[in-house]
Every structure is written in structure tokens, then in C-alpha cells.
Chains A and B, each alone.
Chain A
Amino acid sequence: MQSPYFASVDDVEQRLSAVGYLPDHAIATTVFLADRLGKPLLIEGPAGVGKTELAKAVASAVGAELIRLQCYEGLDEARALYEWNYKKQLLRIQAASDDAAWDDIHDDVFAEEFLLSRPLLTAIRRTEPTVLLIDETDKADVEVEGLLLEVLSDFQVTIPELGTITAVRRPLVFLTSNATRELSEALKRRCLYLHLDYPDAAREKAIVLSRVPEVAERLADQLVQTVRALRAMELKKSPSLAESIDWAHTLLALGLDTLDEQAVKDTLGVVLKHASDQARATTQLKLN
């Protein structure tokens, strides 16, 4: 069993804060557990609350390389796991002299040299510390989940021609999902689960201040409270943390130092991206 990356929950908190990600207690504990139990961590939550960011922050906190598998519709084995370099194999066969035994070539073309390693296999074979990020798992087709099961539970990949490749050093695995569809029970059972939601007021303020240090504390306070008021409304898309940070940048660029009615009205487009949401916020906040 390899040695864990983190010594304690506090250690997680400190090291993540040091690389600019401010975790709350639940996040730090869950990351610590994922490391200790050697299990993949499935992070679910609305868009823009820092799911991908967490994986990146952990990678840089433990000094590991981040290997990322971006999921999309139609992602298959050949893009996620490995592929035989067909063209190179063809060349090898054509280049062989006529008297070469077929058996030799046959074994030869299914060797390491002709294997194109894709993110999952790469992450398993690395001997250095690795963080594997499987991003937007819900976008991939259901079959891909089946593919992930072997990798995530045993950290091994079976290639028919080469045999089973087992991880030398288990990577830390993070999966993210926007919950556009329910992931399978089998996959969830193999993972630890973290639901990332909008942060509480104090943490959101701290994050805005750390990301946009030039912003005045009072303005950050106002901004966070306003964003929370917006989230309480019945909107198509509630503003998330990413939008709060964008808003802080915007206000800074416009040289505004207080968030009054006029300022909110002028910059509402930064936080609300639907015309109907904007109209609703304008009436409910009585901006006009």
C-alpha cells in the first residue's frame, strides 16, 4: 500500500488553501477520506461551483500531474483507454521482408510500440504521483460507465493482446458531474460522493476576496449578499460562484466601489444569463 498524500484533515485544508482553493470542512474531510481509503471521489453539483477546480487544486497541492479525461457524447474506448496504432501496424507488416515468419510479425504488431495510450491507461501506468480527473462524466454515454468500473474499482486495465495492466501507483481519481442524468448505481457505489453546493456567505466572500484581491471588503460583502438574494429567487439558472467572481472583476474594471441599484442594473448581465431571469430579478429587486 502506498503512503497517503495527506496527513490529516487540517493538512488538506492548509495545503489546498496554499494553492488558492479555500475548502470548507466537509470538502477537506472528503478529500482526505478519498486519499486514505484509496477510492475515487465523485463530485456533483451545479455548474460553476468549483468541481473541476478542486481536482486541479489537489493536483497542485500534492505536486502530482493532472491527467484529464473530458467526457462527451460518443466518447469511446479508443479515446478513453487505448487504441492500436493501425497505420503503424500496417506499415510494419508491409515493411517486413517476404521471408519473415508470419507468427513473428503477428506477435510483433501487438507490442507496446504500437499502443496508443489514452488518459485512463496513461494514469494507471504512471509511476509518479498522478491525479486523474474524469470531467463531466454525465455527458458520456452509459457504456463508458461500464468501462470505468474496472479502472475505478481495481485500478487495472485489461488489454486482450497484452494482458492485464495493474496500477503501480494508484492515482487519486476525481469524477465530476452536473447531474444531467443519474449515474449508475454500480459506479456510485465504487466512489465516495461529495455534493458541492453554493458556498455559505462567509466562505463565498473569502473566495471572492482571494480570487479578486483588489476588491474592497465592503463591496465583496454587498456582492455576496446580493448574489444570495438572487439565488433565493425562482430562476432558470441561479448565479454560481464563477459568476460572483466575474461580477467582482466587472465591478473592479468599471471602477465601482459600491453595489447600489444602478450598478446592479448595469451589470446584471454578468450574473444572469437568461433574459427572463434578468427581467424577474429587475422587478423583484425593484431596480427600475
Chain B
Amino acid sequence: MAPAGLLGREIAFFEALRGAGVPVALSEVLDATRAMGAVDLLDRESLRTAFAATAVKRPNHRAVFDRLFDLWWPAVTGEPTRAQDLAEREPDEQAPSDEPADAGQLRDALRDLLLSGDEEALRRFTREVVGSLGRADAAPGRQNWFSYRVLRALSPETLMASLLERLLEGQQRGGLAERVARQTLTERIRQFQEMVEAEIRRRLAEDRGVEQVSRTAVQPLTEQVDFLRASRADMLELRRQVFPLARRLATRLTARRRLGRSGRLDFRRTVRASLGTGGVPLVTHHRPHKPHKPELTVLCDVSGSVAGFAHFTLMLAYALREQFSKVRAFAFIDTTDEVTRFFTPGGDVADALATMSAEADLVWFDGHSDYGHSLEEFATRYPDAVGPRTSLLILGDARNNYRATGIGALRQLVQRSRHAYWLNPEPVAYWSSGDSAVAQYAEVIEMVEVRNAVQLEDFVQRLLPQ
């Protein structure tokens, strides 16, 4: 039985955090409790900081934490009363009229708020509009709250044009100033959307209990998002993480290599070091072990369904290219083309992917995935791409539209290569269902499930030599 009151609330909150996948150790709960005693409890942001500092020790857990904190320690409860709101208002702000404002007026108000960038006022506005626009009576005495009702009625994105006009005020359009202003406004609109969603969650939590809403409010961490289900925003976030991920992987690999057995005795350094101990070689020095670097050939399906996954993996392969002696990339939809030329050293990989989709010759017949033809093309046109030192990676979901599989060509490729793996972004449960040719391919090549960035990271570690 959990204790009641503040402490009980705190413990239940950390329990919910654990449920959302944030590991909170007992010692951290103790620290948080001590911290609670040290800060001003009436200041909500102080409490948030105190909890974050003691219990959330990874930046990618912070979003989950903030979301749950807003639910468990809401800034206001119930319907914001007029009197309370009036008291909070600055004297020069216009008092709200008593009759409910129509959407047009609200849009005007929102535009002014977005223009001024006053966060506190925007938050009060959010509370009001969610109260008036977001509610739908579900059953007598029960209410449902929907963010899309609010966002549709106000459609903040469509305010952009008039906002830009007001902000730029006669400055030249299309230039740097517009780009910068647009960025600022996009950020504020996104902020407003998030406020609306947070407010909706708060209302829901009051209606249904905070535990239930906590469970549904938490989104998976970016690195655990399925490639095949990732939204555009997820994909963008993932792409931002490619370079940090590559750096982390590279650091870990170099550390692993250093720890491994060292090479031949370095005679000169050993003798030099022995001078400090009167000519007795107490410590021997060794030459660093020269790591064996494999060649990497990536052959990826870039058709619509799996393009996101292929792009992410290609970006990672290129970010890690120092770990390989040579990286070659091939892409296919129903025929294969070499795309290595688009990835110039120091070039921008995101641009490279765009040019690749535009310029590479990937469609032969109808633009639907054809693994059989693509594999045969690959084997005949690029016989030098796979040799005894090559690690061959094939990326794709093996959904072949019931066409010929080209299994013979694949078998030969696998035999010629040093290692060969097939990375499949589909969950294992869906393999071999419908038009998937996994069963046939898995007989000749090792098929690995790589659904998210975490699994990819694990795989890359396995691929690279010790």
C-alpha cells in the first residue's frame, strides 16, 4: 500500500516513469525526495528540475519525463475560472468578452499571440480554447477531449502567410529574412500544437484517472520506432541521430580493439622506457594491433515501402566508412544501379540520397519491387563488387510481388563473399506471409530482423571485426 499525500504521489509518478521505460533506481527516488525538500514546492518548474536532475539521466528520456510530469503535476486543475484568469492577466491585456468567441476571433487572437511570442499568454489561451473547442460529450456526465477539433478549428499552419507578412513588414520577400522568420514561426506553431495536446491529456487525465492516460500518452523512444511505421518527423529525428550514433559506435569499436591483444613488441619504446628503471625493462611496449578492415557492399531496396529504412542504413554505412576499407552501395527497385558515386567524401549524405532517387537508374519494367531481376542484374553487371574480402549486406523486406526470386544468383553472391547478411525491417512474425519470399532467401543467406535503430546498432557491432 503506497503512502498517501505528496510522497505517495511522488512514488506513483516514478512508478509511471518506470512503466514508460525510464529506469529509476531506488537511490534516485531517495535523492529526488531529498531534493523535493530543498526546493520551493510551490514553484512547479523547480520541482520539475529537481526530479529531472535526480532521476532522468539520459537526454532521450527527457521528453517522456516532461509529458508524464505535466500529467501528474498539472499546473492547474479543472476548468480555469474566469476570476483566476483575470487575476493572472496583465492589466493592459484585454479582458475576454463573456459570450463565446467564434473561430475567426480566436484565430485572430492566436495570430497576435504567435506574433508576440509570449509563452505564458499562449498557455492561458490554450487552456481557454481547449475548454471551449476540444470537448465532445461522450455520455451523460462523461466527456471526451480531442486535439484535432481544436487544431482544425484554428488551423494554425494556415496562419503562416499572414504572420510572415506582419513580421516582415515590407522587407524583401524570399530572402534570408523570410527564411529566418519562417523558422521562428514554425517553432512557435509547433509549440502551440504541443501545448494543445498536453492540455488535452490533462483534461483526459482528470476525467479517466492519471494512470490510464499515462500509459497511452507515452510514445516510444526514437531509436525504438519501427522503420516501417516511422512518421516523417520520426525519420527526420532518426537522421539527425545518424552521426552521434556513428560516433558512439566508432568510439566503442576503437576501445574494443585497443583492449584486444596488442601486436609485436616495440623494441625501441621498451628500451627507452627501461631507462627510467635503471635499464631493467619492467614494462614492455607493443605496437598497436592493425585492425583488419572489411570491404562493405550494400545492396538496398529503395522502393517506397522500405525506402526510409534503406536511407537510414546507407547514411549509417557512410558515416562509418572509416571503419571499412571500401564501401560500395547499390540500389534497386526492379533493376540495380551503382549509387556509390553520389556519396562523395565530405559531401552531404541527405543531398546524396535526394540525387540518388532522382538520377539513378532503378526502374526497368514497372517500378514495383523485383528482387529476382535486380539480383541477376547485380551479379552480371557488377561481378567485381563481391569478392572474398567483402561483407555483403542486402536491405529489403523481400516482398517480391510474387515474381521470380533469382535464388541462384543470390546463392552465388553469398558463396563469393566473406560474410553475407540480409537485413529485414519487417517483424519476424510477418516474414513469409503474403508475397514475402523470405522463406526461399533464408535458405541461402542469414536473414536478420532490423526493425529499429537499436537493432541496427547491435548488428553493426557484430559485423565489425574485434
| Residues of A in contact with B (beta carbons under 8 Å apart) | 9, 25-26, 29-30, 32-34, 36-37, 39, 41-42, 44, 86, 141-142, 179-182, 185, 188-189, 191-195, 197, 201, 222, 225-226, 228-229, 232, 234, 236, 259-261, 264, 274-277, 279-280, 284-287
Contact = CB atoms under 8 A, between A and B. Distances in A.
Contacts of B96: none
Contacts of B351: 276, 280
B346 A37 contact: no
Interface string B238-278: 01100110011001100100000000000000000000100
Contact of A285 (B49, B179, B251, B347): B179
Nearest to B240: A234
Q: DSSP majority for the A interface? A: helix
B50 interface: yes
Interface string B13-51: 000000000010101100100110011100001100110
A287 B348 CA distance: 18
Given A179-B248, A222-B180, A226-B176, 7 more contacts: A25-B45, A42-B57, A180-B251, A193-B57, A225-B183, A229-B179, A261-B175
B184 A193 contact: no
Contacts of A286: 174-176, 179
Contacts of A225: 180-181, 183-184
A256 to B, nearest CB: 14
B59 A260 contact: no
5 contacts: A26-B49, A32-B38, A33-B54, A228-B180, A234-B350
Given A25-B46, A182-B248, A234-B240, A192 B346 contact: no
Interface in B168-219: 174-176, 179-181, 183-184, 186-187
B238 to A, nearest CB: 11
Contact of B40 (A9, A179, A191): A9
Q: DSSP majority for the B interface? A: helix
B38 A264 contact: no
A44 B59 contact: yes
B49 A193 contact: no
A29 B57 contact: no
Nearest to A31: B53
Contact of B39 (A29, A181, A191, A201): A29
By Cβ-Cβ distance, the 7 closest A-B pairs, closest first, are: A229-B183, A276-B348, A29-B49, A193-B57, A188-B57, A36-B38, A192-B53
Contacts of B38: 32-33, 36-37
B251 A181 contact: yes
A88 B56 CA distance: 48
B236 interface: yes
Contacts, number: 119
A194 B55 CA distance: 11
Nearest to B25: A189
B287 interface: no
B62 interface: yes
Contacts of B255: 141-142, 181
Given A25-B46, A179-B244, A189-B27, A234 B236 contact: yes
A199 to B, nearest CB: 14
A136 to B, nearest CB: 12
A195 B186 CA distance: 24
Nearest to A197: B59
A280 B244 contact: no
A285 B38 CA distance: 47
- Of the four ranges (under 10, 10 to 19, 20 to 34, 35 or more), the interface on chain B belongs to 35 or more
A185 B23 CA distance: 10
A207 to B, nearest CB: 18
Given A44-B59, A229-B179, A275-B346, A236 B46 contact: no
Contacts of B50: 29, 33
A236 B345 CA distance: 13
Given A229-B183, A286-B175, A39 B31 contact: yes
Contacts of B52: 26, 193
Contacts of A26: 45, 49, 52
Contacts of A34: 53
B346 A276 contact: yes
B179 A228 contact: no
A251 to B, nearest CB: 14
Contacts of B252: 181
Residue picked from A41, A179, A192, most chain B C-beta under 10 Å:
A192
A10 to B, nearest CB: 10
Contacts of B57: 42, 188-189, 191, 193
Contacts of A197: 59
Contacts of A280: 348, 350-351
A195 B347 CA distance: 30
Contact of B49 (A25, A141, A275, A279): A25
A226 B178 CA distance: 11
Contact of A9 (B46, B174, B243): B46
A33 B51 CA distance: 11
Given A42-B57, A195-B62, A264-B176, A33 B35 contact: yes
B418 to A, nearest CB: 28
A86 to B, nearest CB: 8
A222 B200 CA distance: 35
Contacts of A195: 59, 62
Residue picked from B57, B179, B247, B255, most chain A C-beta under 10 Å:
B57
Contacts of A30: 49, 53
Residue picked from B27, B52, B176, most chain A C-beta under 10 Å:
B176
Contacts of B187: 228, 232
A122 B40 CA distance: 35
Contacts of A86: 276
Contact of B176 (A25, A141, A194, A260): A260
Contacts of A44: 59
A276 B347 CA distance: 5
A182 B58 CA distance: 9
A122 B11 CA distance: 39
